[in-house]
Amino acid sequence: MDSLLAPRSTSSFSSPLNNNKNYYYCNINSENKSSFSVPSSFRIFNLRKFSTVSFGYGCDCRLMGRSSGCSKIDCLTRVTMDFSASAASPEIAKPKIVTGPGGYVLEDVPHLSDYIPDLPTYPNPLQDNPAYSVVKQYFVHVDDTVPQKIVVHKDSPRGTHFRRAGPRQKVYFDSDEVHACIVTCGGLCPGLNTVIREIVCGLNHMYGVKKVLGIDGGYRGFYAKNTVHLDPNVVNDIHKRGGTILGTSRGGHDTTKIVDSIQDRGINQVYIIGGDGTQRGAAVIFEEVRRRGLKVSVAGIPKTIDNDIPVIDKSFGFDTAVEEAQRAINAAHVEAESIENGIGLVKLMGRYSGFIAMYATLASRDVDCCLIPESPFFLEGAGGLFEYIEKRLKENGHMVIVIAEGAGQELLSESMKSMTQKDASGNKLLQDVGLWISQRIKDYFSKQRKMPINLKYIDPTYMIRAIPSNASDNVYCTLLAQSVVHGAMAGYTGFTSGLVNGRQTYIPFNRIIEKQNHVVITDRMWARLLSSTNQPSFLSAKDVEEKGDEEPSNQLLDNGNCGQETFVSNEVTN
Ligand SMILES: Nc1ncnc2c1ncn2[C@@H]1O[C@H](COP(=O)(O)OP(=O)(O)O)[C@@H](O)[C@H]1O
Ligand SMILES: O=P(O)(O)OC[C@H]1O[C@](O)(COP(=O)(O)O)[C@@H](O)[C@@H]1O
Ligand SMILES: [Mg+2]
């Protein structure tokens, strides 16, 4: 043990602070001039003008309290502590993998009781709620799990499963004890307000939770902004609006400051709504919370209109975005077919994943060519884009092209000397492929082919994500929000709530952040698109060979289980 801080007497540390059994305090008054000492596994990370020192059980040492007293480290009492009995949590929680017969694997989510012993439990208040008490088997059985792959062969191993979401018979928070907060991060997505609304209403109506804070403006709002009080009245109408009433941002993830803020405010349930970057940030927050031994559930709700989050069937807001994209594609089609050699070009979102472009194309049937980041293409020569455009114009007199913002970036880089700029979150800032390709097409046909064309470029980028969610996304948002609330109340932490094969599940952060979900162009879904547009694949035999090694993604409608009809009916059963 180092000799930085030592307690006056060990008994000074035996009283629980704020009824939080994981923290112990000693009062130090300014007359006791001495030095501070902590065991080497402990760290003082928030030295302020506080007079109370608290020690997390098996984790960090913090200065807390607000009464006047000592302000400097050298005026504190010399105290002696022996923390040898308290095992500090390792830096990173190991994945919880449970195996069973027949190759069954459960990728389980962490639980508060994994690192806090002897937590009290309470009967779930829903059992007295008239809306739920009549529903037979309302509570999820403790052994319910959901398979990740549902297309199997007779001899297939049972494979990976995730814990089924839903209310548990016992909960780990007393309703009055809960102090929740909600934050939204990253780009906008239709349905953010619905998720916020349903978390607030779910906590309040199902569990009687009254203390819910909104964190303003993304992660940095934890430490740089004021919070807002949220209750069912405040959020009543917000699902009818696009955007997020809490505001959002990129960058600003400072783990220590965020967890300090959680701790200082006495927050014990953190609901984090955001995309792949946000879930990475949530995973780090969870690790820090666990390391400090706090009774705080950290729960993620996946948000991404790009659909780039793995494992889950799809993100909320995706359907709405695809629907809105139809309006731009329709306009492009009307413009193109009204003039000779008309080309309607629509750029849609999709930084690394072309799902919106692919589904908008499949839904519209007016699109002749869809270009996405996952499928390389080339412009000139036999089998290239220009050749195909010319062919379509000669056959049809007009054509519609949909391009995802991340498509063909390698071509732009070659011709425009690649920029390596990033946004505040570290995402690569893309060059405008829509403007670039418009110019290349115009130049090619006017200069090289001497063929007059009329190109109309439509960029509805922000229009498709700044709108309120449609009816089906609203239902999805509600189920996601309720699932995440049930999970946190049941003491689960370090998890994202998500739809897997039409069932609500709890997925550990490590699975959500390990990779991005991409369109696999050697899968049937992309083949369906090619056969619907009749565009060439632009792939060489070598490309196909390389792409053939990729694992199939969760392709939304593929595998026969994620179609809209199944999706809705499964939702209802959850
Ligand atoms: N690896 C990471 N570790 C911690 N925080 C991250 C990480 N990546 C992104 N973040 C934070 O998550 C937030 C949202 O990330 P961003 O990539 O902009 O959007 P999205 O979550 O929608 O993908 C930002 O505040 C960013 O700082
Ligand atoms: O201009 P912004 O706000 O950075 O957003 C643009 C990005 O947002 C997205 O729609 C989604 O990004 P995130 O899911 O990472 O927030 C990307 O397709 C696009 O590149
Ligand atoms: Mg992202």
More confident position, 37 or 441: 441
Please tell me the predicted confidence (pLDDT) of residue 413.
74
pLDDT digits over 430-450, tens only? 889 999 999 999 999 999 999
Q: Cα–Cα distance between 358 and 51 in angstroms, integer?
A: 60
* 81 assigned binding-site residue: no
pLDDT digits over 460-471, tens only? 999 999 999 999
Q: Please say if the pLDDT value at position 95 is more than 50.
A: yes
Banded model confidence at residue 414, pLDDT cuts 50, 70, 90? low
Ligand 1 pocket residue status of 427, Cβ below 6 Å:
yes
Q: Cα–Cα distance between 374 and 518 in angstroms, integer?
A: 7
Q: Cα–Cα distance between 73 and 16 in angstroms, integer?
A: 23
Quickly count: other Cβ atoms within 10 Å of residue 347's Cβ: 25
Nearest CA to ligand 1 atom 5: 281
Q: Provide the terminal-to-terminal Cα distance of the chain, rounded to the nearest Å.
A: 52
The share of the chain scoring above pLDDT 70, in percent, equals 77
Domains of the chain and CATH, by start: 91-311+469-515 (3.40.50.450), 318-413+429-466+521-546 (3.40.50.460)
Of the listed ranges 113-117, 125-129, 220-224, 328-332, the least confidently predicted one is: 125-129
Ligand 2 pocket residue status of 398, Cβ below 6 Å:
no
Q: Please say if the pLDDT value at position 43 is more than 60.
A: no
Ligand 1 pocket residue status of 347, Cβ below 6 Å:
no
Give the pTM: 0.83
Banded model confidence at residue 531, pLDDT cuts 50, 70, 90? very high
More confident position, 554 or 356: 356
More confident position, 96 or 570: 96
**493 φ/ψ angles, rounded to the nearest 5 degrees:** -150, 170
Quickly count: other Cβ atoms within 10 Å of residue 78's Cβ: 16
**552 φ/ψ angles, rounded to the nearest 5 degrees:** -65, 140
Q: In 3-state terms, the chain is what percent helix, strand and coil (to 5)?
A: 35, 20, 45
Closest CA to 20 of 299, 222, 289: 289
ipTM of the complex: 0.98
Please tell me the predicted confidence (pLDDT) of residue 537.
87
Q: Cα–Cα distance between 259 and 262 in angstroms, integer?
A: 5
CA quadruple 520, 521, 527, 533: dihedral sign: positive
Nearest CA to ligand 1 atom 4: 281
Of 60, 216, 260, 306, catalytic: 306
Q: Cα–Cα distance between 226 and 549 in angstroms, integer?
A: 49
Looking at residues 46-72, what average pLDDT do you find? 33
pLDDT digits over 318-337, tens only? 999 999 999 999 999 999 99
Confirm if 315 and 500 have CB atoms less than 8 A apart: no
Confirm if 303 and 173 have CB atoms less than 8 A apart: no
Looking at residues 498-516, what average pLDDT do you find? 96
Ligand 2 centroid distance, CA of 187 (Å): 5
306 is catalytic: yes
What is the distance of C-alpha 166 from the center of its chain? 19
Banded model confidence at residue 130, pLDDT cuts 50, 70, 90? confident
Closest atom of ligand 1 relative to the 187 alpha carbon:
22
Banded model confidence at residue 429, pLDDT cuts 50, 70, 90? confident
Closest atom of ligand 2 relative to the 277 alpha carbon:
15
Which of 92, 425, 427, 516 has most ligand 1 atoms within 8 Å of its beta carbon, as the pocket-test mutant?
425
pLDDT digits over 261-320, tens only? 999 999 999 999 999 999 999 999 999 999 999 999 999 999 999 999 999 999 999 999
Angle, in degrees to the nearest 10, between helices 409-416 and 433-443: 70
pLDDT digits over 373-386, tens only? 999 999 999 999 99
Looking at residues 521-541, what average pLDDT do you find? 89
The pairing of beta strand 15-17 with beta strand 20-27: antiparallel
List 385's β-bridge partners, or say none: none
Q: Which numbered ligand comes closest to the C-alpha of 274? A: 1
